[in-house]
A and B are shown apart, each in its own frame.
Chain A
Amino acid sequence: DSGVTQTPKHLITATGQRVTLRCSPRSGDLSVYWYQQSLDQGLQFLIQYYNGEERAKGNILERFSAQQFPDLHSELNLSSLELGDSALYFCASSVGRASSGANVLTFGAGSRLTVL
């Protein structure tokens, strides 16, 4: 158990639907990162939050949005789902400043999304 909790572990839904993935960071960690891993794309960085504020953005689609709440948990919202959104979605957390080359990320076990 890494200390980063992601729910749900598995999710099956239909195209056009909307889902919410939830992440609870390790106790004491202020930064949360979201990654998408599909078979043909590898691990793609989506977005980072630090203490409730967005700090870095990657290849996140406009149909996707995220936020970090005052209790530091984060949610990734995926809407108008397409078949290509089927992937593993990982959340990671780190302690310390928003930007530090020495920051070590701790990853959760992931949420597997299947869009039919």
Chain B
Amino acid sequence: DAKTTQPNSMESNEEEPVHLPCNHSTISGTDYIHWYRQLPSQGPEYVIHGLTSNVNNRMASLAIAEDRKSSTLILHRATLRDAAVYYCILRDVGPPAQGLVKAAGNKLTFGGGTRVLVKP
């Protein structure tokens, strides 16, 4: 899997936006950019994903650089409940199935992530 680089930690004030950067300079053309977060004592939770265009959902926005070598997860108004470790992950589309040859699976490889602290 191509590697991602994220800052170890970031702090934000409540109600303010949070911009979480991720560098992935070795990204391939078929890699999707995924973001997950893990709240304390919980399993990881899907946040957002994209391939080339910027994406928005109810949780966050994902801004992808034109060359796709970096991306930024944007939490528009941080709340105390957003305090978590945020993981930026690249996920390949995987090999195509050919006839009776089954497509191999593909794993989601987590790095160290960015620990976000939200201050009231």
Q: Are A and B subunits of one complex?
A: yes
Q: Report the Cα distance A101→B27, complex, angstroms.
A: 13
| A interface secondary structure, majority | strand
**Segment of A12-20, A49-57, A72-80 engaged in the interface with chain B:** A49-57
Chain A residue nearest to B113 in the complex (CB) = A42
A contact residues around B51 at 8 Å (CB)? 101-102
The reply to whether B106 and A101 contact each other, CB–CB distance below 8 Å, is: yes
Tell me whether B103 and A98 are in contact (CB under 8 A): yes
Q: Check B92 against A42 for contact (C-beta < 8 Å).
A: no
Residue of B nearest to A94 (CB): B108
A-B residue pair count with CB separations less than 8 angstroms:
93
B32 touches A55 (CB 8 A): no
Kindly state whether residue B68 has any CB partner on chain A within 8 Å: no
Judged by a CB distance under 8 angstroms, whether B81 is at the interface is no
Instruction: Give the docked Cα–Cα distance between A110 and B36 (Å).
Output: 16
Kindly supply a per-residue 1/0 record for chain A positions 93-116, scoring 1 wherever the CB is within 8 Å of any chain B CB and 0 otherwise.
Answer: 000011111111111111000000
Number of interface residues of B (CB under 8 A): 32
Contacting residue for B107 out of A48, A100, A108, CB 8 A: A48
B95 & A99 in contact (Cβ 8 Å cutoff): yes
A42-B112, A104-B49 given as contacts; is B43 within 8 A of A99 (CB)?
no
Contact A109–B32 (Cβ < 8 Å): no
Q: Most chain-A CB neighbours within 10 Å: which of B49, B87, B92, B94?
A: B94
Interface positions of B from 46 to 69, Cβ below 8 Å from A: 46, 49, 51
Residues of B85-110 at the interface with A, using a CB-CB cut-off of 8 Å, are 87, 91-95, 97, 102-110
Out of A31, A42, A44, A90, name the residue touching B105 (CB < 8 Å). A31
Q: Are A99 and B105 interface neighbours, CB within 8 A?
A: yes
Decide yes or no: A109 and B42 within 8 Å by CB, A101-B91, A101-B92 being known contacts.
Answer: yes
Whether B112 and A33, one on each chain, are in contact in the complex, defined by CB atoms closer than 8 angstroms, is no
Q: Kindly name the residue among A33, A45, A53, A104 whose own CB sees the greatest number of chain B CB atoms within 10 A.
A: A104
- A83 proximal to B (CB < 8 A): no
Give 5 nearest A-B pairs by CB, closest first.
A99-B94, A55-B105, A107-B43, A56-B105, A101-B32
Given A42-B111, A43-B38, A92-B44; 4 other pairs, CB 8 A cutoff: A2-B45, A45-B109, A53-B102, A101-B94
